[in-house]
Amino acid sequence: MRKVVLVGVPGMNDQEVQSLERYIREEGIEDFVFLGKPVLSREEAKEKLKGADILVTWDQQMDEGLYKELDLMAFCAASTGFDAADIEAATANGVMVTNAKDYCVDEVSAHTVMLLLACGRRLYHVTENVDRGDWSVDGIGSVRRLKGSTVGIFAFGSIARGVAEKLKGFGVRMVSYDPYVDREVMEAYGVEKVGFETLLRESDYITIHSPLTDETRGMFSREALSWTKEGVVIVNTARGAIVDQEELYQMLKRGRIVAAGLDVLLHEPPSEAEKGLLELPNVIVTPHSAYFSDEAQEHQLRITARDVGRIARGERPVNLRNGEVLKSNSQISIHSSQLKG
């Protein structure tokens, strides 16, 4: 009998919680505990997660010490992102990490293109003019034709590929930086594989689609942003911490970056220090809602429950993010020996 605990899902509504519990129980789980939507403090986690085999969460932050204190089999992220798991610490302690991979590819890729077009066409400015009764394009500044421009796609996973598919009809040149994806894969989508610096220097639009890892955290640093073209548009529907937010703010304020479409911030909801970014007239911010649709919500919960059930039955989860955890070694043999396939 496996104990499954759900906690740390701020923003998940009551109906979603109930549906997720129902789907998990349909997988044969009898011992299910919902500890609440807020993220537990470290001390609370040490106490309340004792005895849990499978943790289901969005944002419950884990680390080496917590994994050593507990005896988890798995950290199941009920989302695309799984950075809260600290995957290196999880692997070192024999804990499987899963996520709800690809449940919202169409939604996030569509949201990305929406933000790109809205920023490129200065939607934030012209709608303000209309609200003031000004039926003109006065003050809109320079707007360049989308056709013939270069769109830089940072990382080339499923969502990025959805963006490339959606942009095909706009007549843009598409380039992408992703050291883990072969050139042939990108070319099949009409995308040119380039280095990171080339992407920054040549793109008129940059869209960010990588997971948040030690490698990508802060990758759009002050130096990296300084390499971008004057008047670039930046769209981020991935994770806020990939971008140096203070430098982004300063460059937007100066007009060096002409506009930004952000579905993610460093802190969500934003801290007091971040509210200046939201108040800039050339920024469109959405509340981490790119994933949202009726179909995606349902898919997200079912994907999560499916892998919880597979783990509980001793089967390999479909969306295992750290497959190396199954390799036989002294740290994780107790867990890997329970898995099939």
Pair 120, 207 in one domain:
yes
Q: Which of 131-135, 138-142, 321-325 has the lowest mean pLDDT?
A: 138-142
| Helix pair 294-312, 14-26: axis angle to 10 deg | 40
Asked if 244 and 319 sit in the same domain, the reply is: no
- Kindly state whether residues 96 and 223 are assigned to the same domain: no
234 and 320 co-located in one domain = no
Annotation says 215 is catalytic = no
Q: Hey, CA dihedral for 330, 335, 338, 341, is it positive or negative?
A: negative
- What is the tens place of the pLDDT at every residue in 239-260? 999 999 999 999 999 999 999 9
pLDDT averaged over the chain? Answer: 94
Identify the DSSP state of 267.
S
Are the beta carbons of 229 and 203 closer than 8 angstroms? yes
Residue 341 lies in a domain: no
Is the pLDDT at 340 greater than 80? The verdict is no
Are residues 194 and 260 part of one domain? yes
Residues 140 and 269 in one domain: yes
Q: Do 51 and 98 lie in a common domain?
A: yes
CA 229, CA 245: separation in Å to the nearest integer?
18
- Catalytic residue flag (residue 335): no
> From the candidates 128, 192, 202, 268, which is the catalytic residue?
268
Domain presence at residue 229: yes
Instruction: Please say if 122 is a catalytic residue.
Output: no
CATH of the domain at 96: 3.40.50.720
Number of domain units in the chain: 2
84 or 338: which carries more pLDDT confidence? 84
Catalytic residue among 288, 306, 321, 335: 288
pTM for the model stands at 0.86
Same domain, 121 and 161: yes
- Same domain (yes/no): 136, 247: yes
Structural domain span for residue 27: 3-102+293-336
**Residues 32, 128 share a domain:** no
* Same structural domain, 298 and 213: no
Catalytic residue among 2, 111, 122, 239: 239
In percent, the amount of the chain with pLDDT more than 90 equals: 91
Q: pLDDT tens, 12-34?
A: 999 999 999 999 999 999 999 99
What's the average model confidence in pLDDT over 34-50? 97
What amino acid is encoded at 143 in this protein? V
> Do 165 and 307 share a domain, yes or no?
no
The CA dihedral of 80, 164, 268, 261, to the nearest 10 degrees, is 180
Edge-to-edge strand ranges of the sheet holding 31-36: 31-36, 3-7, 54-57, 74-77, 96-98
